[in-house]
Amino acid sequence: MEKRRLGNLEVSALGLGCMRMSWSDTPVDRDDMIKLIRQAVELGITFFDTAEVYGPFTNEELLGEALEPFKGEVVIATKFGFKHIPGKGPTAGSGQDSRPEQIRRVAEASLKRLRVEAIDLFYQHRVDPKVPIEDVAGAVQDLIREGKVKHFGLSEASAETIRRAHAVQPVAAVQSEYSLWYREPEKEVLPTCEELNIGFVPFSPLGKGFLTGAVDENTTYEDWDLRARIPRFAPEVRKNNLALVHRITEFGKRKGATPGQIALAWLLAQKPWIVPIPGTRKLERLKENIGAVDIKLTDEDLHELEGILSEVTIIGGRYPESLEELTGR
């Protein structure tokens, strides 16, 4: 597979988001996930995304076991930044904690779970309003100097925060949501990354499954599924939002591609330093996603897609209101 660079870090053009391999209310066979992760390596994926909070802890342990045979061949990104509840560990609903002593504690524990000598890419999962970003960058810098971390990253950070952090410790990558139906990073974050030679890692590049064509007006979600609470998935706006998927599907047919592949190919065509990390628990979907790397969109294709995007207005927020406060600080 073609390679791309996140700052000075070389990775496959497409990564694999691993959160739902262990952070899910539906049964997941651990051995099956280990097999899938190793198949991803065989198919050319070298970039894997996890976090301490996924599980908590179990997702890092899963990757540690699955990728141990490929040490030196793959890049694992993990994250710090949430509070720990005694007996439960960190949860995304417990608030942020990026104090330097917490960052160090997370790093030491993640190294053991991942079975590595150094964390390839260590993201701040969400910006902590109580801890100056300069202190966060300085704490990660100390870990880099000690050889425990190789590269520093930020997730869902504003352009201003990125600049302040980068002035202390160079940022290799910024991870934020970005897709055909969420383009906010184009306003300030992507120009900042380009100026500072920072890679960009879109999560939810397939709109949490919406852009794959697998969702229709009759799709329902269990209460535990976050999509049951996401405004843009709401039944009353779904018909409107599906108009984008229908248009992308028709476009894809002419290119011999699925709508999901077009969504990923569009991201890859935006900048050579963009590396999407779609997640999946199915081999057939993994292969489909990887196929997007070989789809080269022409200037005419991109112009046509831009026209489609300008004609369809997506209704609804990308998160429930209770989670929006965690983004873009």
Q: Which domains does the chain have, with CATH numbers?
A: 3-324 (3.20.20.100)
23-78 pLDDT, tens per residue? 877 789 999 999 999 999 999 999 999 999 999 999 999 999 999 999 999 999 99
For position 326, what pLDDT does the model report? 65
Q: Provide the whole-model pTM.
A: 0.97
pLDDT range class, residue 325, cuts 50, 70, 90: low
CB 51 within 8 A of CB 125: yes
Q: Half-sphere exposure of residue 73, counting CA atoms within 13 Å on the CB side?
A: 13
pLDDT range class, residue 200, cuts 50, 70, 90: very high
Distance CA 248, CA 312 (A): 11
292-307 pLDDT, tens per residue? 999 999 999 999 999 9
User: Is residue 319 among the annotated active site residues?
Assistant: no
Cα first-last separation, the chain: 34
162-180 pLDDT, tens per residue? 999 999 999 999 999 999 9
Average pLDDT (104-124) is: 98
Which is the catalytic residue, given 54, 123, 178, 182? 54
Question: Over 70: is that where the pLDDT of 226 sits?
Answer: yes
